[in-house]
Amino acid sequence: MKNFNLKFKNKNFWIFDLDNTLYDASSGIFKKIDIRMTEFISKKIRVTRDEAYIIQKQLYKKYGTTLFGLIKGHSIDPFEFLEYVHNVSLKNIKKSKKLKDFIKQLPGNKFIFTNGDEKWARKIINALGIQDSIDEVFDIIKANFVPKPQLKTYDNFLRKFNINPQESVFFEDTERNLKYANSLGITTVLIDEELKNKKLKSFVDFRFKCIKTALEIISKNLNNY
């Protein structure tokens, strides 16, 4: 495990995506958000639900988030969108002492770097019981609604908190969002609940089924180094 240990040694910045990363995709939370995105588009631009769904996915693929595409092409109020799509129940998210402790044990600072908004991020981390383990949240509003994987958003995030990429680890469930991070020298960790039997892209350093498994293994190996 020497190479594994070396990848996580002397890290002082731990960066976490939010949705389907800090909580499990199997909770169904983001599926509910996805449905509400379709509803919002259908109502706002007056198309059928089926048409709205197609538009939603096309915008996501082109712009990185559906919201950024709606702002660009349909002059949608981003705050109205965020309020609507995040109006979902969090009953499937449970407090996790393990997650709280694992994050707290990591040396240095811990950040959430999300394409969602901070209000939503705070709801999630409160539901998980990890609010005291997170130092800062960099959300889509601080990014001027320019999402990952847009390069300037990463640069703005790193500059705002004076983060050294070489001393950083980034946990993310969306593979393409790790590419630029890796090119900067950030250690990249893909959270992939299905652990599909596929070859890792060159810009993904490690892959784990869930965040708790990742942090448990990292913590143990750091302590044993």
Q: Write out pLDDT tens, residues 96-136.
A: 999 999 999 999 999 999 999 999 999 999 999 999 999 99
Q: Write out pLDDT tens, residues 24-60.
A: 999 999 999 999 999 999 999 999 999 999 999 999 9
Q: What is the rounded CA–CA span in Å between residue 51 and residue 43?
A: 11
What pLDDT shows up at residue 5? 64
What pLDDT shows up at residue 179? 97
Share of the chain above pLDDT 70, in %: 96
What pLDDT shows up at residue 113? 98
Task: Evaluate whether 210 touches 17 at the Cβ level (below 8 Å).
Answer: no
How buried is residue 145: exposed, middle or buried, by Cβ count under 10 Å (0-12/13-18/19+)? buried
Has residue 78 got a pLDDT over 70?
yes
**3-state secondary structure string across the chain:** CHHHHHHHCCCCEEEECCCCCCCCHHHCHHHHHHHHHHHHHHHHCCCCHHHHHHHHHHHHHHHCCHHHHHHHHHCCCHHHHHHHHCCCCCCCCCCCHHHHHHHHHCCCEEEEECCCCHHHHHHHHHHHCCHHHCCEEECCCCCCCCCCCCHHHHHHHHHHCCCCHHHEEEEECCHHHHHHHHHCCCEEEEECCCCCCCCCCCCCCEEECCHHHHHHHHHHHHHHC
What pLDDT shows up at residue 51? 97
What pLDDT shows up at residue 214? 96
Q: What is the rounded CA–CA span in Å between residue 101 and residue 161?
A: 23
Instruction: Work out the average pLDDT over 61-69.
Output: 94
What pLDDT shows up at residue 1? 45
Has residue 2 got a pLDDT over 50?
no
Q: Write out pLDDT tens, residues 161-189.
A: 999 999 999 999 999 999 999 999 999 99
Q: Write out pLDDT tens, residues 182-222.
A: 999 999 999 999 877 678 899 999 999 999 999 999 988 77
Domains of the chain: 2-24+92-224 (3.40.50.1000), 29-85 (1.10.150.450)
